[in-house]
Amino acid sequence: MKVTVKSIPVRYDGERYFKGQEVEIKDAHFNENLFVKGQDAEETDLYTLTEAELKKINKDDIKAFLDTEGIEYDSSANKDELIAIVLGDADDE
């Protein structure tokens, strides 16, 4: 099942996952204190993540978050530019 890490870093299958990161886990390993599953996973607030944590989020997921928030961005923006927008570091032109 695909889940999102809630708040504290989680080690799973030899990898470390941070708040907001998605990970595929076995159903038997689901712990509601550590993960959010299903539709709830898409409600992760990227504004609460650090730059390092955002760098581990899929570019399309960042775009989807910005779309949900109604924030405009250049469709050809690279991941670092999208992260800057989320962090409020984007240059206003």
User: Measured in whole angstroms, how far is the alpha carbon of residue 40 from the centre of its chain?
Assistant: 12
Give pLDDT tens digits for 1-27: 888 888 889 999 999 998 888 899 999
Which domain CATH number covers 92?
1.10.720
7/39 same-domain check: yes
Considering the domain architecture, whether residues 50 and 85 belong to the same structural domain is answered as: yes
Structurally, the chain folds into a number of domains equal to 2
Cβ neighbours for 45, distance < 8 A, ≥ 6 positions apart: none
19-71 confidence digits (pLDDT tens): 888 899 999 999 988 998 765 545 678 888 899 989 988 898 899 889 888 99
- Please check whether residues 7 and 27 belong to one and the same domain: yes
Furthest CA-CA distance within the chain: 50
Q: Residue 87 is part of which domain span? A: 46-93
In this structure, the answer to whether residues 92 and 60 fall within a common structural domain is yes
Half-sphere exposure of 89 (CA within 13 A, CB side): 9
